[in-house]
A and B are shown apart, each in its own frame.
Chain A
């Protein structure tokens, strides 16, 4: 057994919150630059240039990439040979988010109850998911998930006999409905299969993949390519003002499902895609 103190986890999480919100990851930046090279619409080019400049100002001047510094989503791969000392893992993570959002001058966007809407003023609780894996390490993946794009997400429970064409049409329609409001160019996370809730979680989980990485599932890899091409033909473009760059990536996470079911969840993510990871 390896012992990891909660203080180290808290410090790591705080650092991830800050870095994610100030430093746009290289895969997203490369995707924006590559889109700028391929884009033919002049307004679209202007917007993409603004986004690249925005990322550079954020990094240099320590201003968050976007004022919506998000809901803290934390995925943990916890090695089975790790013993956590000093408290619970969940508390260590929430303490880290609280610290990071305070120290980093990040916006606290979480309200304690959906109806009375009093701000917790700490940006916690985080949305935490823990997977148990072999080994003696802790892998932590952090995402600052903005509310605007999240609001444009949808799920549809298809009949198991549904065609690929119907499923693709649904996904493209979700993107069209999100359009300008979700801050395109978008990243589309799709969860396919499982139960109602599993599909939604997989859609979120898929967003942690690096742009440009290949899907190990052959069917999903093909569909990702076809969907990206179709979405970029909609003409929505950056900020919804037209162009060929409506999405930077499509990620699909499949899962076995019931003979009666075929859930398809679409989690919409904006270009301010703030994901960072660390290993303890």
Chain B
């Protein structure tokens, strides 16, 4: 089990991770799923200023359930990563170092990880209650109008995941035809 401090300052540390490695993430990350991705990439295409800093950033694909009063967050497991495949390369290029989701990615994402020295991690899908225990704080930082799909900044501690694409472009799953 390897511990990684996030966001990523030292790319060399990331390059040491190999497909299949089990990691624990601690630090600050942001959340984004379908609609936030669409907006972020549209903003990049227009050449406008992004509402969040993507340099060294970790994006967790999640739309949490509402927090009960006095709680930080509701259930917060990963959503299907492949829906973000069309947007991910532009975000890796803009500085994102890690994405966290569940399931398969396409070739463009694998190539983009290699080209940008970035990685993709899988967290256990459907373990939203368990994973929420590793989230210590949550606040909306952009696109609040999107509700559960807003961009949140999360403080996480020992968040468990598995390396599914490494910086060499190795992929944990079988490549789909």
Interface set of A (CB-CB < 8 Å, partner B): 43, 47, 50-51, 53-55, 57-58, 61-69, 105-109, 117, 119, 121, 146, 148, 151, 177, 179-183, 239-241, 270-272
Contact = CB atoms under 8 A, between A and B. Distances in A.
Interface in B119-163: 122, 124-130, 132-133, 147-148, 160, 162
B126 A51 contact: yes
B130 A47 contact: no
A107 B66 contact: yes
B102 A180 contact: yes
Contacts of B29: none
13 contacts: A54-B126, A65-B75, A65-B128, A68-B128, A105-B66, A105-B67, A105-B74, A108-B147, A117-B35, A179-B103, A180-B102, A240-B173, A241-B122
Interface of B: 35, 62-68, 74-77, 79-82, 102-104, 122, 124-130, 132-133, 147-148, 160, 162, 172-173, 176
A175 B122 CA distance: 19
A223 B133 CA distance: 41
Contact of A64 (B35, B74, B103, B122): B74
Nearest to B76: A67
A61 B132 CA distance: 11
Contacts of A117: 35
A63 B62 CA distance: 15
A58 B81 CA distance: 24
Contacts of B172: 241
Most chain A beta-carbon neighbours within 10 Å: one of B67, B80, B126: B126
B75 A63 contact: yes
A55 B126 CA distance: 10
Contacts of A66: 75, 77, 125-129
A68 B68 contact: no
A67 B74 contact: yes
Q: Which A-B residue pairs are the 3 nearest by beta carbons?
A: A181-B103, A183-B125, A67-B75
B36 to A, nearest CB: 13
A106 to B, nearest CB: 6
B130 to A, nearest CB: 4
Contacts of B176: 177
A179 to B, nearest CB: 7
Contacts of B65: 63-64, 67, 69, 105-107
A43 B130 CA distance: 17
